[in-house]
Amino acid sequence: MKIGFAKPELPKKGALVVGVMEDRKFGAVAADLDLRTGGALTRALEASRFTGKAHKTLLILAPYGVDASRILLYGMGKPEDMAPGWAEEMGGNVYAALAGSGDTEATIWLEAAEGKSEALAIAAAHAGYGALLRSYRFDKYRTKEKADDKPTLKKLTVLVEQASTAKKLFADLEAVAEGVFLTRDVVSEPGNIIYPETLAAVAEGLSELGVEVQVLGQKEMKKLGMGALLGVAQGSVREPKMVIMQWKGAPKSKEPPLAFIGKGVTFDTGGISIKPAGGMEEMKWDMGGSGTVIGLMKALAGRKAKANVIGIVGLVENMPDGNAQRPGDIVTSMSGQTIEVINTDAEGRLVLADCLWYCQDRFKPRFMIDLATLTGAIIVALGHEHAGMFTGDDGLADQLSACGREMGETVWRMPLGDAYDKELNTDSADMKNVGGRPGGSVTAAMFLKRFTNDVPWVHLDIAGVAWAYKDKPIVPKGASGFGVRLLDRLVAAHYES
């Protein structure tokens, strides 16, 4: 969808969106429209339960006296509510309300409560951003959808006095949206289309934006001793890949780089510890962590973030075959630590073990943040509302919690501790790859911690949030792209020069 900004003027066609404040209070725009339409707004309000409460809407069709095809009254609540996140939600809801209306164009007329025009330009940019994020659709394989069932809305213009300011602000937001869309695209793709080689190729595409991309194949990883990752991959005919992306947006900086690491299991059957058939198709999105890291690198490069950032993704397919790893196999990770593979379905941690070790060894980063659809247990604990956050670093935890609330991509801190770590001990090797059922997400995190070499580290278990099971204001049902906006914000707010 095309998003534009212009100075306030009544549109000649399409849908018009105007705000109404709480207690049915009209601002100047709504009052003027009410006059032009012979009181259509007042009568519609009287005939409905719409009172201007935040994010409620009322649609008025083909009102006499204006060129617009329809007027969507949008509940502004109390005017001081218009924070960026609020405006995003508004944009998303407006898109959803009008997407299938038949109109191809819509216009949102934003007006300030008391001449706060700078804040209004920010709100306008974010309203456009919210609408853009909500307009995402993964429909490339739907060849028979009727034209009547497809969204019609193609263009949204936000009217605001400082239109050129809004437009400038929107450029960076649009770059982040492109990162989110890339994540949603690769996470939506099925396992026969996205597998290690093809996902690595997507990452290589980022070189167009100035990201340096390096791809390790099986041979290189073998040489590096990545036995944990390779053990997972050995049951698949698809060759595993590790992709190292570098964005050098602060070439003069002496600070060590920031590092983001993603689990990229392009399909997780469970391996020999095979999963039940019901719902297994969902495991096409077990590369969600890597999808987020790739989308994040695109966002950062797209908006030319002034930071040096490493993205590393471990890409494998977890399959059962005659060559697959067996329960009880013992593998040696790049760190030298040996792992008894009790359950081949606890594969994500094996992949990440070698990614984390490689990352700290090669880059000595300021911190490592990994993202992984790691455990079903985190869904039991937190549902689909928060990602699980595991870290010993209170500063990073606070930064991520705050950014999460701002972005509507919330994280909830979970514990770490020696008592959990002990669950990983085994007589046969340095550790086993599963604890018990209790605290399954925590023992998984403790496993990862053993490969961080005490570099500041955060693990985000995104198993519950990588896929949206229902529409949300700025996230349509499907691959959510969770983490791109959160981590882009973390970088922008705290780590850019």
Residues 248-307 that bind Zn ion (CB under 5 A): 265, 268, 286
Q: Which CB sits closer to ligand BES, 89 or 354?
A: 354
Give yes or no: 349 in active site. Answer: yes
Least distance CB 360 / Mn ion (angstroms): 24
Q: Min. distance of Cβ 268 from Zn ion in angstroms?
A: 4
Q: Which residues bind Mn ion (CB under 5 A)?
A: 268, 345, 347
C-beta of 318 vs 452, nearer to Mn ion? 318
Q: 440 touches which of ligand BES, Zn ion, Mn ion, none (CB within 5 to 8 A by kind)?
A: ligand BES
Contacts of ligand BES in 427-486 (CB under 6 A): 434, 440, 463
Asked if 325 is part of the footprint of ligand BES (rule: CB under 6 A), the reply reads: no
The reply to whether 477 belongs to the active site is: no
- Residue 185 touches which of Zn ion, ligand BES, Mn ion, none (Cβ within 5-8 Å per kind): none
Closest approach of Mn ion to the CB of residue 195, in Å: 16
| CA 389 vs CA 152, 170, 312, 457: distances in Å | 39, 30, 19, 10
Tokens found for residue 229: 């990752």
Nearer to Zn ion, 271 or 481 (CB): 271
How many amino acids of this chain bind ligand BES (CB under 6 A)? 15
- How many residues sit in the footprint of Zn ion (CB under 5 A)? 4
- Site for ligand BES contains 370 (CB under 6 A): no
DSSP per residue over 19-77, as a string?
Answer: EEETTTEE-HHHHHHHHHTTSHHHHHHHTSS----TT-EEEEES-TTSS-SEEEEEEEE
377 binds, among Zn ion, ligand BES, Mn ion, none (CB under 5 to 8 A by kind): ligand BES
Name which of 463 and 479 has its Cβ closer to ligand BES: 463
Write down the least CB distance from residue 41 to ligand BES, Å: 47
Name which of residues 263 to 282 contact ligand BES (CB under 6 A): 268
Which are the contacts of 231, defined by CB distance < 8 A and separation ≥ 6? 325, 329, 331, 341, 350
CB contact burial 340-371 (16+ within 10 A = b; e otherwise)? bbbebbbbbbbbbbbbbbbbbeebebbbbbbb
Q: Which is nearer to ligand BES, 193 or 379 (CB)?
A: 379
- The minimum distance between CB 443 and ligand BES, in angstroms, equals 8
Element (DSSP H or E) covering residue 340 = strand 338-340
Place of tokens 């025009």: 117
**Distances, alpha carbon 478 to alpha carbons 132, 189, 275, 319, 348, in Å:** 16, 11, 22, 24, 22
373 near ligand BES, judged by CB under 6 A:
yes
Are 342 and 434 in contact, with CB atoms under 8 Å apart?
yes
User: Rounded distance, CA 191 to CA 238, Å?
Assistant: 11
Q: Which residue is nearest to ligand BES (CB)?
A: 376
Residue type for 296, please? L
Closest alpha carbon to 228 in 240, 216, 244, 215: 240
Which is the catalytic residue, given 56, 284, 303, 349?
349
**CA separation for the pair 73, 378 (Å, rounded):** 40
Is the CB of 374 or the CB of 458 nearer to ligand BES? 374
Q: Rank residues 346 and 359 by Cβ distance to ligand BES and give the closer one.
A: 346
- Taking 3-state DSSP, the helix, strand and coil percentages for the chain, each rounded to the nearest 5, stand at 40, 20, 40
Does residue 345 touch ligand BES according to CB under 6 A? yes
Q: Site for ligand BES (CB under 6 A): which residue of 226, 233, 324, 346?
A: 346
Minimum CB distance to Zn ion, residue 283 (Å): 7
Distance CA 136, CA 151 (A): 11
CB 294 → ligand BES: shortest distance, Å?
18
Phi (first) and psi of residue 257, to 5 degrees:
-75, 165
Residues sharing a CB contact under 8 Å with residue 469, sequence separation 6 or more, in sequence order: 384, 477
Give yes or no for residue 329 binding ligand BES (CB under 6 A): no
Which of 84, 348, 435, 473 binds Zn ion (CB under 5 A)? It is: 348
- The per-type count for the chain, helices as H runs and strands as E runs, is 15, 20
Among 4, 320, 376, 408, binds ligand BES (CB under 6 A): 376
Angle value at C-alpha 154, between 484 and 15, nearest 5 degrees: 115
What is the pairing mode between strands 338-340 and 411-413? unpaired
> Exactly one of 275, 306, 366, 472 is catalytic; which is it?
275
By annotation, the residues acting in catalysis are 275, 349
Binding site for ligand BES (CB under 6 A): 268, 286, 343, 345-348, 373-377, 434, 440, 463
Binding site for Zn ion (CB under 5 A): 265, 268, 286, 348
